[in-house]
Amino acid sequence: MRTGFALALTACLSLAALTGCGGSDASGTTTLTVFAAASLTEAFTEIGDRFEAEHDGVTVEFNFAASSDLAAQITEGAPADVFASADQGNMDKVVDAGAAADPQTFALNQLVIAVPEGNPDGVTGLADLARLDFAACAPEVPCGAAAQTAAEGTDLTPVTYEADVKSTLQKLTLGEVDAALVYRTDALAAQDEVDAVEFPESAAAVNAYPITALADAPEPDLAAAFTEYVLGDDARTVLETAGFQRP
């Protein structure tokens, strides 16, 4: 497990720079460490603030990264309390490794067709992509897997399979493609520059976001409380504002 140690150490060091590695510190505040998918950055930062406001002496620290990276860090022993993944697959890895049990879905995310503001090409559905240059995520990452499912049965081929949803959207905002298959949350975050066109096929490829308290959480009680909070109504409002849907 030498590699595991190294990974854990890396994760710990990167957090230590911000928080000090561990739970309680001398001044009596308790730190909760949440590993969350990058697509949750805006929503979870807001939720963290609200959670802190309701819990005196608690600081929530986030480690936002690709779900696959987070899953690897957790299985290699990084000290985290909560894991919120952008897909079921990476959550399964953590559960299979025995690092967590009982994940619960707290949000759904669906693909939309992002087009330049004003929709100059008049895109109304998936079929329109056949005549356009469009970008999608690579099948190896969750948004790409979703796109593949949604486009099943068609012979649509993007001009590029991007490594993540942000760079997929970036190809559109830079004007290199006419459309991009991205999550509704991402399209919403960039609403100054892009419009989102909903399409029915995306219902077949809804992305579920599971959350769980981790088995080796340094702050198990707080971890459970945070998980509960994310599943609650207060957090849902925040998530919906960001473009997520109720499970």
Partner 1 sequence: MPAKRTRQRRRVPAALLAPAVVGLAFLILPLAGLLARAPWTELPARLTEPAMLDALRLSLATATTATALSLLFGVPIAWLLARGDFPGRSVLRALVTVPLVLPPVVGGVALLLVFGRSGIVGSWLHERFDVTIPFSTTAVVLAMTFVSMPFLIVSVEGALRGADLRFEEAAATLGAGRWTVFTHVTLPMIAPGVLAGAVLCWARALGEFGATITFAGNFPGRTQTMPLAVYLALQSDLEAAIVLSLILLAVSVVVLASLRERWTAVA
Residues 146, 171, 172, 239: which binds partner 1 (CB under 8 A)?
Answer: 171
Whole-number Å distance between alpha carbons of 245 and 167: 23
Question: Cβ closer to partner 1: 158 or 210?
Answer: 158
In the bound complex, what is the minimum distance in angstroms from residue 220's beta carbon to partner 1? Answer: 28
Ramachandran class of 62: left when φ > 0, alpha when ψ lies in -120 to 50, beta otherwise: beta
Pair of tokens at residue 59: 């600081």
Q: What is the largest CA-CA distance in the chain?
A: 62
165 annotated ligand binder: yes
The candidate with the shortest Cα–Cα distance to 212, out of 1, 38, 71, is 71
Stretch that binds partner 1, among 13-21, 37-45, 170-178, 200-208 (CB under 8 A): 170-178
Residue reference for tokens 């981790």: 214
58 is in an annotated binding site: no
43, 65, 111, 135: which one contacts partner 1 (CB under 8 A)? 135
Q: Count residues near partner 1 (CB under 8 A).
A: 22
Residues 6-25 that bind partner 1 (CB under 8 A): 6
* 66 near partner 1 (CB under 8 A): yes
118 part of the interface to partner 1, by CB under 8 A: no
Q: Is 174 in the site for partner 1 (CB under 8 A)?
A: yes
Q: Does the annotation flag 39 for ligand binding?
A: yes
Residue 175 found at the interface with partner 1 (CB under 8 A): yes
Residue with tokens 């809804």: 206
**Inter-helix orientation angle 67-75/2-16, to 10°:** 120
134-137 and 160-162 beta bridge pairing: parallel
State CA 38 to chain mean position distance.
5
Considering only 107-115, 117-125, 154-162, 214-222, which stretch makes contact with partner 1 by CB under 8 A?
A: 154-162
3-class DSSP assignment, residue 214: strand
Cβ distance to partner 1 smaller for residue 64 or 161: 161
Name the site residues for partner 1 (rule: CB under 8 A): 3, 6, 66, 68, 72, 89, 133, 135, 138, 140-141, 158-163, 167, 171, 174-176
